[in-house]
Amino acid sequence: MTEQLSITYHLHCQPGESVEEKARDIGLEQTIELPHELAVRSGWLGYAGRVEDLEHLYGESYRAVLSYPGDAIGAELTQLLNLLFGNISLKDGIEITAIDWPESLLAALGGPGQGIAGIRDACRVPDRALLCTALKPMGLDAEALAGLSRAFALGGVDIIKDDHGLTNQPAAPFRERLPACQRAVEHANRETGRNTLYFPNVTAGRETLRERLDLAAEAGCRGVLVCPMLIGLEGMSWIRDQYGLAVMAHPSLTGSYFRPEHGLRPELLLGEIFRIAGADASIYPNVGGRFGFTASTCQAINDRLRGPLGELSPALPTVGGGVNVADIGHWLDRYGSDTIFLIGGSLYAQPDLTAAAASLIRELERCHG
């Protein structure tokens, strides 16, 4: 791992703040964590990030490029996040806007285990866009959630996932919910001849995560939903390596990184980084829904999930957060068929869930054909 990692920052300075120092201090803070003079005097600058480029953007904002030795990271996702934004998260006016990934790091971290091809294969949907919905709300019992699963599966929904807040509430404990929903989907599949998948939410602490994954694998699930920032980003790679299940990533808790003038761009975290860490599908809130992503951010996330990234498999953008049933044609046209549309609330608002789902699937098929 001798290649360099190169990171582009937008730096937003306070009046009187020196951008040269700000850039240099990032390179120290994220690595050797010593004052510059002391590091120079002691000959300890070897692992420090180095400012490669610095240019003025506008007002007090600048673009800086720093390079870091690959050895500072190794092949650990925890240390990657630490080097990217660990200590500087506690500072101000630092936005990471681009990362130039060493091929060796990408290869070591591995990326999606299934990717677009694997999920399409599991769903037996070779080319059209995929439809996903969420089981909710928390408070329903396992039987009611299984009933919803059946209704959605009969309508041909491709992936039925637990809402990310469904964990182990007494109304529908995981051990009851999982087999009930998985069986409901399998029965419906026998009737429809389709291959709807059920992705249970396995997000939990270490020991419980393992139990839930064991149960999911035993029940015949092909994939799971997980919130990477709740279990630790590396949890996705671990699921990939230990279980071979497809991983759909939920953006819970990630919004904190997307603040104005300080953070990581959404396309880096939900696009590149989640993909590198093993997400086969990455959920994000669509423009115009109940969250604030812009059209260009959404497009950028799609590009980072599907575009070239070393030898890594592409992953599926999973567009949710208030996508309306009525607008599916519009979004399909804009985002293309290598997309999962995650439609929750506006599907639940329909009187006949099976008919509503079937109509959406027909629309996806029609637009494709």
Among residue numbers 246 through 305, which ones bind its own copies (CB under 8 A)? 251-259, 262-263, 285, 290-292
- Among residues 361, 338, 349, 298, which one has the least CA distance to residue 160? 361
- The CB density around residue 172, as the number of other CB atoms within 10 Å, is 25
- Among residues 268, 330, 354, 264, which one has the least CA distance to residue 303? 268
Strand (E) or helix (H) holding 301:
helix 295-306
Token look-up 């389709």 returns 194
Q: Which stretch binds its own copies (CB under 8 A): 3-11, 39-47, 95-103, 115-123?
A: 39-47
- Let me know if 200 is exposed, middle or buried by CB neighbors in 10 A (0-12, 13-18, 19+): buried
Q: Smallest distance from the beta carbon of 28 to its own copies, in angstroms?
A: 9
Distance, in Å, from the CA atom of 111 to the CA atom of 174, rounded to the nearest integer, reads 28
Buried b (16+ CB within 10 A) or exposed e, 96-109: beebebbeebbeeb
Of 124-183, binders to its own copies (CB under 8 A) are 134, 136-140, 163-165, 167-171
Instruction: Say how many residues make up the chain.
Output: 369
Q: Compute and round to an integer the Cα radius of gyration of the chain.
A: 22
Q: Smallest distance from the beta carbon of 256 to its own copies, in angstroms?
A: 4
Q: Say if CB 64 and CB 96 are below 8 A apart.
A: no
Residue from 18, 20, 21, 35 touching its own copies (CB under 8 A): that is 35
Q: What is the DSSP letter of 140?
A: B
Of 56-75, binders to its own copies (CB under 8 A) are 71-72, 74
The reply to whether 186 sits near its own copies by the rule CB under 8 A is no
Total site size for its own copies, rule CB under 8 A: 83
Q: Smallest distance from the beta carbon of 234 to its own copies, in angstroms?
A: 4
- Residue placing its CB nearer to its own copies in the complex, 127 or 143: 143
Q: Smallest distance from the beta carbon of 186 to its own copies, in angstroms?
A: 26
- Residue placing its CB nearer to its own copies in the complex, 48 or 364: 48
- Residue placing its CB nearer to its own copies in the complex, 105 or 119: 105
Q: Say if CB 319 and CB 284 are below 8 A apart.
A: yes
- Residue placing its CB nearer to its own copies in the complex, 93 or 314: 93
3-state DSSP call for residue 251? Answer: coil
- Residue placing its CB nearer to its own copies in the complex, 23 or 122: 23
- Residue placing its CB nearer to its own copies in the complex, 122 or 202: 202
Residue from 345, 354, 358, 367 touching its own copies (CB under 8 A): that is 345
The reply to whether 23 sits near its own copies by the rule CB under 8 A is no
Q: Smallest distance from the beta carbon of 337 to its own copies, in angstroms?
A: 26
Distance, in Å, from the CA atom of 282 to the CA atom of 318, rounded to the nearest integer, reads 5
- Residue placing its CB nearer to its own copies in the complex, 223 or 289: 289
Residue from 3, 44, 299, 324 touching its own copies (CB under 8 A): that is 44
- Residue placing its CB nearer to its own copies in the complex, 283 or 315: 283
Of 97-126, binders to its own copies (CB under 8 A) are none
Of 78-97, binders to its own copies (CB under 8 A) are 78-79, 81-83, 85-92
On the question of a cis peptide bond just before residue 137, with omega within 30 degrees of 0, the verdict is yes
Q: Smallest distance from the beta carbon of 324 to its own copies, in angstroms?
A: 11
Of 197-256, binders to its own copies (CB under 8 A) are 203-208, 227, 229-235, 237-238, 251-256
Q: Which stretch binds its own copies (CB under 8 A): 27-35, 97-105, 178-186, 214-222?
A: 27-35
Distance, in Å, from the CA atom of 251 to the CA atom of 267, rounded to the nearest integer, reads 12
- Let me know if 348 is exposed, middle or buried by CB neighbors in 10 A (0-12, 13-18, 19+): middle
